[in-house]
A and B are shown apart, each in its own frame.
Chain A
Amino acid sequence: MKKLFAIALLVAAGSLLHAAPPAKAAAHPAGAKADVSKMRAVDAVPYFRFENFTTANGLPDNHVFSVLVDRDRVWAGTENGLAVYENGAWKTYTTADGLAHRAVLSLALDKKTGDVWAGTMGGLSRVSGGRIDSFTQLNSGLSNDVVYGVAVDGESVWTATAAGASRLDLKTDRWTLYNERNTPMNEIWVYSVSATPTKVYLAVWGSGLLEYDQKTGRWDKYDDPDGETEMVLFKDQGLIHEIVTSVSYVDNILWAATYFGDSRYDGRYWHNFLTKDSGLPSNFTNVVKGLDANRAWFGTDKGLAYYDGTNWAVYRPSMKDGKPEMTVRDAQGNINPVQVTSAPAHNYVLGIDFQGEDIWVATAKGLSHGIRQHP
């Protein structure tokens, strides 16, 4: 069944990555213009003017783990509280307001209710209409207090924790735990979760990717087939590495980030990205956010990267002198610098979200708002 689906998908997508460049990329927030194949790479990728927020202008901490956009509001999960930017000002929620812990690692929006779920170093918090309810391993069914990732699938809240994954059914308040006892999970450090009404994916640090079918309740697992931690024996052989840090499932395409490169899986074929054969600025990737089947954003330790299915763009303060830098790599591997006057606050990128055509980036030294620029 999975195979048939994959074939259908491939037909529909026209083997985008392997055979030909995409015929047309759909218009999308923070994405490239249409028909990138006919454009010069530097014209295809988006430009931004970055405005950076730090403690100097109201952010509670410069170390920003996560960012979430809800229409006009922007939430930042920092090491010292959860901040929300609205009407030009920051407001911070702390443990005094009921937040489970001051360090907010992950954020998710329940689009149905407008509630924001925050995964922290000390539990899971729900921010709803200004009220914060916190769930911990001591006061609820949550599996572990270190909540690296959180996602809402419409009916449930999924958490990726230091001891497996948890699912809170929002109607029954029932918790279900997923760990080495009931899933094919060798390690239990789950770093990220991407949840949809059909499939849920867990990024497991040291144990590959886990797939949960919401209808059947079955688990599937994707591992690095070569079993080698330091090298990739064959290109595109499968998931690039067992240490998976982030997963993003969009348009039936799986994007996975690891500390040793990134992977894309369309249900049949894997495609892997390494610094040596792509525009990735670093193999050490903290976060990946797929825009659609072709396009994705990567947050690495050496900058923010965008891939439009053909071209790559990297946005960062220069690794040499800290000056704003943007480079574009085309399908032939030609790298062109682009003159820019701004860059994200730091090259260590931990979180990414989109606001219309704009992008928001959580970095180790500030939160950045990339305002889309049109020539």
Chain B
Amino acid sequence: MRRFLQRPVIEAISAGVLAASIAAAMITICSERVVQATATKARSGEVLAYASPLEMVFSPDGARLYVLCQGSDEVRVLNGATYKPIKKIAVGRVPRGMSLSSDGRRLLVTNTWDDTVSVIDTRTLAVTATWAVGAEPSGVVQDNAGKFVFVANRISNDVAVLDAATGAEQKRLAAGRGASYITASPDGTRLYVSHIYPNPTRASTALGNRAVPESEITVIDAARATIADRIHLKDIAHGFHIAFSRDGRLGVLAQLHPKNLVPLAHLEHSGAFADTLMLFGADVGNPVEVPLDELERYATRPFAVAISPDKSRIFVTCEGAEFVTVIDVLKLLQFARAHPGSSARDLSASANYVITRVEVGHDPRGMAMTRDGSKLLVANRLDDSISVIDARTNQVIRTVQLESPKTITVLRHGEQAFYTSRYSFQRQIGCANCHIDSTFDGLTWDLEPDGFGRDIVDNRLLEDLDGTEPFKWNGGNPNLPTECGPRTEKYFWRSENYDDLTLTDLVVYVRHLPLRPNRWRQADGSLTPAQERGKVLFDRPIDKFGKPIAEANRCGYCHSGPKGTSQKSFDVGTGKATDNSGLLDTPQLINVGLTVPYLHDGTAKTLEEIWTVYNPQDKHGRTNDLTKDELNDLIEYLRTR
């Protein structure tokens, strides 16, 4: 344990080019931290000890509270009134979604790393079955008729429809990209799916690298299990929970509205995101987008929504801002009717309908409201606690601490720093705004004060970064301390900077983001015939005409090593006139199948396009001699990386 916790600190320092005095201070400070830190295991497969409560649901009679604890891979069962623990139920790896049947007898939990659903019998509080679903199952609901179970698969971008009795998969419905959360309408006839990544859209510039982000709410006919409609969400890239009023007339989606098409010069000039709600349903007609932000106070990353039973108030957890926004529904609807479309950029709008902001803990996520609407419970994911709010007075009347380690470890502290917006100007953003759930966002950004429209950059996956430095698309940042420290201080925050201790902990957290399973790899580690053929092409020294391929033009030369990067920069012919450098850092290939779009600025919308459209001169590897089926084989292999 001690060895592990020391290791990142040494790496953070040795890899960096920080001034010696700063480095010395960090070692001292961090050494003290190491002594204090306990109970954290990391990437060798052990389970983090922290509970990290993410979602909650009351039993129909209110006697029990089920808490999905993502960090400890459990559902914890608490007394619904006293919150005393009753039982811990182990589920699969990294659970994310939870759904209770209407009769309360069956609890379903999605396990994102196992691609399964755990079926829990609430009478015995035991897992009775485990069902296979699609890639990274997230949201789950059961229809009222007891016929189907619907599971939103975040990576496979679809909704798996299972037989509710056997778990046998019936079909997959095409959802949007990053299908994550499902909510049933109060009458159970329709299901509404939201998405954390933007749908692929057509580029809006001649350079082919910019597109207005768009997402959708996928509407499913629950009885027929077919797509009924898609509610188009323009300018939206990241949708989270949806809630309905009990009369079914008002639907509310918590979402992020990125402003990635404009230069993100400084936060004080323009918000990087609008934190908004999308209102839809009979109460508003066409969807209306309303902001949660204020002029100098941002409601960073709205996540979960709850509507009081009498439809008088809406509650929204704002995870980066660490508060719950309380909204007057009557005033909200008056505003929405008077302002159709989007008011996302009107930071004075929220004064019309926001009642208050209730401070809670680190990274507030899921909510559960008592049936009578008197209390609202909020899961503080990075505090392992539940804030109990009196829904009439909007006061936190109690904080329930879940069983968890007493000490805040380096990783935990780093994770808190990653998710909070407290370091940014007016609390506008945190790392997790672009690195959704610690990963990526599927968007391209105009970052850095290098001139408008210059150096457009594609957001990359953060997982398993060890040994992939330097960072930035042009290799401009030699290590994570520089990437996360001076760069963000200079560019993003313009506010409270990280202290050395926090920066180190943040770097340690990022460096140890675990690598999720690769869905294209076979369980036994072998390659399929197509993948095997692709590997041969990846490593080949001669082309199909028997001519030698120059070393620097073989896939495996630049994309060498276990992570697929030589950590060097090359000109592969994909630079743009708007780039300040002709050389591009070789990106790692880790889970490359997930991170659409591709190339340094997101020009290529698919892996295929890298070679079919953007490699006319064979500068990005010798590929133009390949047939279409050979190119498909190469891509099949790349997806296993």
Interface 1/0s, chain B 539-557, versus A by CB < 8 A?
Answer: 0000000000000000000
Say which one of A126-134, A255-263, A335-343 lies at the interface with B: A126-134
Question: Is the CB of A55 closer than 8 A to any CB of chain B?
Answer: no
> Which residues of chain A have C-beta atoms less than 8 A from B608's C-beta?
138-141
Tell me the minimal C-beta distance from B592 to chain A in angstroms.
14
Q: Contact check, B605 vs A171: say whether CB atoms are below 8 A apart.
A: no
Q: Contact check, A171 vs B174: say whether CB atoms are below 8 A apart.
A: no
CA separation between A112 and B148, bound complex, in Å? 14
Interface 1/0s, chain B 605-641, versus A by CB < 8 A?
Answer: 1101100110000000000000111001001100000
CA separation between A222 and B170, bound complex, in Å? 34
Q: Give the contact-size bracket for chain A.
A: 20 to 34
> Which residues of chain A have C-beta atoms less than 8 A from B224's C-beta?
114
> Which residues of chain B have C-beta atoms less than 8 A from A173's C-beta?
156
Given A112-B171, A133-B174, A174-B636, is A128 in contact with B227 using a C-beta cutoff of 8 Å? yes
CA separation between A112 and B156, bound complex, in Å? 18
Q: Contact check, A177 vs B227: say whether CB atoms are below 8 A apart.
A: no
Given A139-B609, A171-B156, is A129 in contact with B230 using a C-beta cutoff of 8 Å? yes
Question: Is the CB of B134 closer than 8 A to any CB of chain A?
Answer: yes
> Which residues of chain A have C-beta atoms less than 8 A from B336's C-beta?
none
CA separation between A126 and B199, bound complex, in Å? 14
CA separation between A155 and B612, bound complex, in Å? 27
The SS class assigned to the B binding surface is mixed
> Which residues of chain B have C-beta atoms less than 8 A from A163's C-beta?
628
CA separation between A113 and B175, bound complex, in Å? 11
Interface 1/0s, chain B 167-180, versus A by CB < 8 A?
Answer: 00011111000000
Q: Contact check, B156 vs A113: say whether CB atoms are below 8 A apart.
A: no
Q: Contact check, B635 vs A141: say whether CB atoms are below 8 A apart.
A: yes
Q: Contact check, B174 vs A112: say whether CB atoms are below 8 A apart.
A: no
> Which residues of chain B have C-beta atoms less than 8 A from A115's C-beta?
174, 227
CA separation between A285 and B612, bound complex, in Å? 36
Question: Is the CB of A198 closer than 8 A to any CB of chain B?
Answer: no
Q: Contact check, B635 vs A171: say whether CB atoms are below 8 A apart.
A: no
Q: Contact check, B632 vs A175: say whether CB atoms are below 8 A apart.
A: yes
CA separation between A129 and B227, bound complex, in Å? 6
Question: Is the CB of B218 closer than 8 A to any CB of chain A?
Answer: yes
From B172, B200, B219, A170 is in contact (CB under 8 Å) with B172
Question: Is the CB of B229 closer than 8 A to any CB of chain A?
Answer: yes
Q: Contact check, B609 vs A138: say whether CB atoms are below 8 A apart.
A: yes
Tell me the minimal C-beta distance from A109 to chain B in angstroms.
11
From B171, B228, B530, B605, A139 is in contact (CB under 8 Å) with B605
Q: Contact check, B170 vs A112: say whether CB atoms are below 8 A apart.
A: yes
Q: Contact check, A114 vs B629: say whether CB atoms are below 8 A apart.
A: no
Q: Contact check, A130 vs B229: say whether CB atoms are below 8 A apart.
A: yes
CA separation between A238 and B343, bound complex, in Å? 69
> Which residues of chain B have C-beta atoms less than 8 A from A129's C-beta?
218-219, 227-230
CA separation between A53 and B373, bound complex, in Å? 57
CA separation between A113 and B612, bound complex, in Å? 31
The SS class assigned to the A binding surface is loop
CA separation between A296 and B224, bound complex, in Å? 31
> Which residues of chain A have C-beta atoms less than 8 A from B605's C-beta?
139
Question: Is the CB of B374 closer than 8 A to any CB of chain A?
Answer: no
Q: Give the contact-size bracket for chain B.
A: 20 to 34
> Which residues of chain A have C-beta atoms less than 8 A from B200's C-beta?
133
From B172, B230, B635, A131 is in contact (CB under 8 Å) with B230
Question: Is the CB of A181 closer than 8 A to any CB of chain B?
Answer: yes
Question: Is the CB of A143 closer than 8 A to any CB of chain B?
Answer: yes
Q: Which of B386-409 contact A (CB under 8 A)?
A: none
Question: Is the CB of A137 closer than 8 A to any CB of chain B?
Answer: yes
CA separation between A115 and B174, bound complex, in Å? 9
Q: Contact check, B174 vs A137: say whether CB atoms are below 8 A apart.
A: no
Q: List 28 A-B contacts (CB under 8 A).
A: A113-B174, A113-B226, A114-B226, A114-B227, A126-B174, A128-B173, A128-B227, A128-B230, A129-B218, A129-B229, A130-B230, A131-B199, A131-B216, A133-B200, A137-B628, A138-B612, A138-B613, A139-B609, A140-B608, A143-B628, A163-B628, A171-B134, A171-B156, A175-B632, A176-B530, A177-B628, A177-B629, A179-B629
Q: For residue B159, which residue of chain A has the nearest CB? A: A113
Tell me the minimal C-beta distance from B229 to chain A in angstroms.
6
Given A171-B134, A179-B629, is A139 in contact with B606 using a C-beta cutoff of 8 Å? yes
CA separation between A173 and B199, bound complex, in Å? 16
Given A131-B216, A133-B174, A177-B629, is A113 in contact with B227 using a C-beta cutoff of 8 Å? yes
Tell me the minimal C-beta distance from B217 to chain A in angstroms.
10
Q: A113-B227, A131-B216, A143-B629 are in contact. List 12 more A-B contacts (CB 8 A).
A: A114-B226, A126-B174, A129-B218, A129-B230, A131-B174, A131-B199, A138-B612, A139-B605, A139-B608, A171-B156, A176-B530, A182-B629
> Which residues of chain B have C-beta atoms less than 8 A from A140's C-beta?
606, 608
Interface 1/0s, chain A 165-204, versus B by CB < 8 A?
Answer: 0000011011111010110000000000000000000000
Q: For residue B612, which residue of chain A has the nearest CB? A: A138
Q: Contact check, B172 vs A113: say whether CB atoms are below 8 A apart.
A: yes
> Which residues of chain B have C-beta atoms less than 8 A from A113's C-beta?
171-174, 226-227
Q: Which of B212-268 contact A (CB under 8 A)?
A: 216, 218-219, 224, 226-230
> Which residues of chain B have C-beta atoms less than 8 A from A98's C-beta?
202
Q: For residue B157, which residue of chain A has the nearest CB? A: A173
> Which residues of chain A have C-beta atoms less than 8 A from B174's C-beta?
113, 115, 126, 128, 131, 133
